């Protein structure tokens, strides 16, 4: 069953450099239907949903490891096999010397119109990933960006408005 985020809520988590959860807020636990003990130390893919293209996570990791922020629409799976969509902003956490020390993500409710664009796009990407791999799936995304003349983050933010 789909769970819908509240308009005014934000879901927060922090991870170490490997993507293991080091912090999550109460709204995260409520939405994901996990207890804090189950989440702390667990890899963030604990809530991975099969409808998420691998290419989106690759892009996400490429950007944050490069200390760039990234925006993404993500569908997650809860402990009880429910699902929920988020609009996420993921950033690198740096120490005072600029060294990477972890990652941080804040999510809010995605715009319904954005999901109308994202759902068929992800479905196409996943289909292609099954036979042709992540490279071909990334190409689908890049082709959309080229057609629109936009950068990835630019498009993702534009459709949330």
Ligand X SMILES: Cc1cc2nc3c(=O)[nH]c(=O)nc-3n(C[C@H](O)[C@H](O)[C@H](O)COP(=O)(O)O)c2cc1C
Distance CA(113)–CA(117), nearest Å, equals 7
Residue 55 beta carbon to ligand X: minimum distance, rounded to whole angstroms: 11
Contact 140, 120 (CB under 8 A): no
Residue recorded with tokens 């490997």: 18
| 138 binding ligand X? (CB under 6 A) | no
State CA 118 to chain mean position distance.
12
Does 13 interact with ligand X (rule: CB under 6 A)?
yes
Smallest distance, Å, CB 65 to ligand X?
9
Q: Is 15 in the site for ligand X (CB under 6 A)?
A: yes
Residue 22 or 111 with smaller CB distance to ligand X: 22
Q: Which among 90, 63, 88 has a CA at the least distance from the CA of 76?
A: 88
Return the range that interacts with ligand X (CB under 6 A); candidates 103-111, 118-126, 136-144, 150-158.
103-111
What sections of 75-151 are H helices per DSSP?
Answer: 112-132, 134-148
Instruction: Please report how close the Cβ of residue 128 comes to ligand X at its closest, in angstroms.
Output: 16
Q: Taking a C-beta distance cutoff of 8 angstroms, is the pair 135, 54 a contact?
A: no
Binding residue for ligand X, selected from 90, 114, 125, 156, defined by CB under 6 A = 90
Q: Which of 3, 10, 19, 150 binds ligand X (CB under 6 A)?
A: 19
CA 64 to chain centre: 12
Binding site for ligand X (CB under 6 A): 13, 15, 19, 44-45, 47-48, 52, 57, 74, 76, 90, 103-105
């Amino acid at each position: 069953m789909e769970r819908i985020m509240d308009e005014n809520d934000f879901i927060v988590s922090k991870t170490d450099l490997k993507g293991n959860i080091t912090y999550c807020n109460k709204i995260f636990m409520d939405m994901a239907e996990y207890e804090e003990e189950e989440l702390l130390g667990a890899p963030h893919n604990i809530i991975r949903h099969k409808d998420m293209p691998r290419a989106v996570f690759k892009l996400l990791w490429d950007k944050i490891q490069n200390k760039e922020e990234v925006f993404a629409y993500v569908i997650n799976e809860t402990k009880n096999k429910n699902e929920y969509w988020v609009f996420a902003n993921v950033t690198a956490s740096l120490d005072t010397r600029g060294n990477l020390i972890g990652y941080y993500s804040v999510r809010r409710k995605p715009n319904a119109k954005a999901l109308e664009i994202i759902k068929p796009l992800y479905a196409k990407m996943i289909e292609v990933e099954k036979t042709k791999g992540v490279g071909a799936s990334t190409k689908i995304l890049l082709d959309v960006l080229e057609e629109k003349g936009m950068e990835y983050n630019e498009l993702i933010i534009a459709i949330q408005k």
